Amino acid sequence: MVAAPRTTPFHRLEQNLRKLLPLMISIVFAIVVVLPVGLPQWGILAPPLLLISIFYWSLVRPDLMPPTAAFLLGLFQDLLTGAPLGLGALVMVLVQWIMRGQRRYLANRPFFLMWASFGPVVFSAAVIDWLLYALFTLHALPILGALTRMVLGFVLFPVVAWVVLIPAHRTLPPES
């Protein structure tokens, strides 16, 4: 039996704070998307950063992105953007639930597999979002906006992953 590493209270606190990283990153992403960047049509094109974050963490560390967290993050996004309350929350919980089940096929596999599987997820999220909004308001909006956003999210996925998510993942303490 290997002796357990010596842990000081400070060390334990630090490890536990690091476990909040996925949540903090998701909150920051939700806020970044609403910043006024002054690009034409930004409102429509803003990439679904929160979706990317929840997708990634439910796949690699579902213990740090439980359904409750996904739900609350989705709700936070709805409140911030003024979207119908619960729409984003539902989509985020669905994504968390589906990706959690895919973990054994996708974790510790080449990155492009994960990227490829993000395609159908972001596509379904856009369609569900659009469909529910249409039912909610009885208004069929042009689906083009939702699709453009989805394509942009898909293209940006590796960038967001390499710049933010994967480095953050490396600093996390191992799963107990």
> Distance between the two ends of the chain, CA-based, in angstroms?
17
Q: Does 170 bind another protein (CB under 8 A)?
A: no
Which residue in the set 21, 23, 34, 164 belongs to the binding site for another protein (CB under 8 A)?
A: 34
Q: Does 43 bind another protein (CB under 8 A)?
A: yes
Q: Does 20 bind another protein (CB under 8 A)?
A: no
Q: Does 37 bind another protein (CB under 8 A)?
A: yes
Site map 137..166 versus another protein, x via CB under 8 A: x-x-x---xx--x-----------------
Site map 98..137 versus another protein, x via CB under 8 A: -------------------------------xx--x---x
In the bound state with another protein, the residue whose beta carbon lies nearer, of 94 and 152, is: 152
Residues 45-64 that bind another protein (CB under 8 A): 45-46
For the bound state, the minimum distance from the C-beta of residue 43 to another protein, rounded and expressed in Å, comes to: 6
Contact status, residue 99 vs residue 58, Cβ threshold 8 Å: yes
For the bound state, the minimum distance from the C-beta of residue 29 to another protein, rounded and expressed in Å, comes to: 11
Distance from C-alpha of 74 to C-alpha of 91, rounded to nearest angstrom: 8
Which residue in the set 13, 15, 24, 42 belongs to the binding site for another protein (CB under 8 A)?
A: 42
Contact status, residue 138 vs residue 33, Cβ threshold 8 Å: no
